[in-house]
């Protein structure tokens, strides 16, 4: 099957690298016009060039910037069909070590960034025949990891917010679905850095992976593509772990 999101207008935050870049590539492969936004504008432009799309410098913490970008998308395209709220950060700190500043930083990037994105995208997405919001949480929102307290809290908030937004859109009669993905360990620059091998990418083999394996960014991008497509028309308010069974495993 090809052209699964043909002609759709998609915006991916944090699209310059890692999961965001993979999402941009996969959506473009299947026919979407992709808008890449990132605080790293040079890399966003490089990804936009790869996919034949557009790029915006974007600090998702700024509501004003969200409004500006949506105004520009309106002027250029008149609607928005797909929004992927992917931008994020992580600082490894326990509840005892985490400063108020770092806690608020996570809330601003993840929670407020996702909130602003949904709020300011809805007016454009209501014009779509069938629109989809995909918010990015994490397996850390389902399980206890002592050294990422702020990150876990932020991702948990995104899970809850997604359900509320999904029900608001449905109750309002909007043609918009809203779902959340929760990746586990994925071979991204962030995971490489945490693993002490910054910039050293390890190949992810094909086929079914053993329980200790990392996934590939494309594994998440394929789920983004499905939720963005009309194939997922009966899914809204759903949370999907992409973790190779990690959350289901009883001895975790």
Catalytic one among 151, 181, 182, 242?
151
State the DSSP string of 102-135.
Answer: HHHHHIIIIIIHHHHHHHHHHHHHTTSSSEEEEE
Which are the contacts of 219, defined by CB distance < 8 A and separation ≥ 6? 186, 242
Q: Please say if 145 is a catalytic residue.
A: no
Rounded CA separation 250/120 (Å)? 40
Question: What Å distances lie between residue 74 and 1, 2, 52, 135, 161, CA to CA?
Answer: 30, 27, 19, 21, 25
Q: Which residues are catalytic?
A: 151
């Amino acid at each position: 099957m090809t052209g699964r999101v043909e002609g759709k207008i998609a915006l991916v935050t944090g699209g310059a690298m890692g999961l965001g870049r993979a999402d941009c590539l996969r959506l473009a492969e299947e026919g979407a016009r992709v808008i890449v936004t990132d605080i790293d504008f040079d890399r966003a432009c490089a990804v936009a060039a790869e996919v034949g799309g557009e790029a915006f410098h974007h600090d998702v913490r700024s509501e004003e910037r969200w409004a500006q970008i949506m105004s520009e998308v309106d002027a250029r395209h008149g609607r928005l069909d797909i929004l992927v709220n992917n931008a994020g950060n992580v600082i490894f700190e326990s509840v005892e070590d985490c400063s108020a500043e770092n806690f608020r930083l996570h809330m601003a990037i993840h929670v407020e960034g996702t909130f602003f994105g949904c709020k300011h995208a809805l007016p454009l997405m209501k014009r779509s025949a069938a629109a989809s919001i995909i918010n990015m949480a994490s397996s850390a929102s389902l399980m206890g990891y002592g050294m990422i307290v702020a990150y876990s809290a932020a991702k948990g908030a995104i899970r809850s917010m997604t359900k509320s937004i999904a029900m608001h859109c449905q109750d309002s009669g909007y043609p918009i679905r809203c779902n959340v993905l929760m990746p586990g360990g994925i071979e991204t620059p962030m995971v490489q850095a945490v693993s002490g091998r910054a910039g050293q990418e390890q190949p992810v083999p094909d086929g079914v992976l053993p329980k200790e394996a990392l996934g590939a960014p494309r594994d998440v991008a394929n789920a983004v593509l499905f939720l963005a497509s009309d194939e997922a028309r009966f899914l809204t308010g759903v949370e999907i772990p992409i973790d190779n069974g990690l959350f289901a495993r009883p001895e975790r």
